[in-house]
Amino acid sequence: MDALIKPIRPNKPSDAKLPEARPAELDPSEFLRAAVLPDQPRPSRAEAEAAVQTLLSYIGEDPSREGLLDTPRRVVEAFDELYQGYHQCPAEVLDRTFGETAGYDDFVLVRDIEFTSQCEHHMMPFYGKAHIAYTPVERVVGLSKLARLTDIFARRLQTQEHLTAQIAAAIDEVLKPRGVAVMIEAEHTCMSVRGVAKHGAMTFTSRFTGMFRDNPAEQQRFLSMVRGPNR
């Protein structure tokens, strides 16, 4: 008896027109100002340290033993460093540009920007490299600013997809270039250290705007330069 295999999706007429996919719009507050305002209510440092003590007790530790007496303070200080991106303004990083480009009209690519971020689902690190390109209109931004922009967004609780979109949106909105291309490759410890524990698995995400989104040849040229002959 032959088995009847049903298609998962019904066949559509060949002339059916699919809606054009466009990236979702981001809230400008995500990339035009700091995420935490100076007057925003927040727990005190003492309350934060008490929360760390609670977590130590939860896992079965004794917060009063010698090796853990100063741990709450150290953890809160580490949080201040790891999450400093909440207090930094992405737009300000891209604010200063330079006009001496001698009529340069191709894209600018900064490859292999190393970063470390924290997964918003498990608060575990993910780390890797960002590759960023943009095609300027008359004025360019300092190359180090693209690395600093990456760090601002990375030093917040993140998903890799959101991080990729935020970097592209900030450059697109502030610099108004002809196009932006962002690719991120990263390893997530919430996947390599816990759960399925697949060490070395890499996640790739990308976002294209303007000429990179509309011109497949420019996308391919960007990807070829990112990968390079020895990668």
Q: What tens digit of pLDDT does each residue of 161-184 get?
A: 999 999 999 999 999 999 999 999
**Is 190 a known active-site residue?**
yes
Greater confidence (200 vs 60) lies with 60
Three-state secondary structure call for residue 39 = coil
The one catalytic residue among 122, 173, 185, 187? 122
What tokens does 83 get? Answer: 């999450």
Question: Fold identical between 45-82 and 97-227?
Answer: no
* Residue ranges of domains in the chain: 45-82, 97-227
Helix (H, G, I), strand (E, B) or coil at 184: strand
Spatial CB neighbours of 190, under 8 Å, sequence gap ≥ 6: 119, 121, 122, 124, 126
Question: Which of 30, 87, 190, 219 is labelled catalytic?
Answer: 190
Class of domain 45-82 (CATH, top level): mainly alpha
32 compared with 170, residue with greater pLDDT:
170
CA–CA separation, 230 vs 110, rounded Å? 17
Q: Could you list the beta-strand ranges (E) of 10-107.
A: 97-98
Residue among 158, 160, 166, 218 flagged as catalytic: 160
Q: Is 131 a catalytic residue?
A: no
Q: Is 120 a catalytic residue?
A: yes
d(CA 180, CA 149): 14
The confidence band for 22, taking pLDDT boundaries of 50, 70 and 90, is: low
Alpha-carbon distance 158 to 30, whole Å? 12
Tell me which CATH code domain 97-227 carries: 3.30.1130.10
Is-catalytic flag, 87?
no
Q: Is 160 a catalytic residue?
A: yes
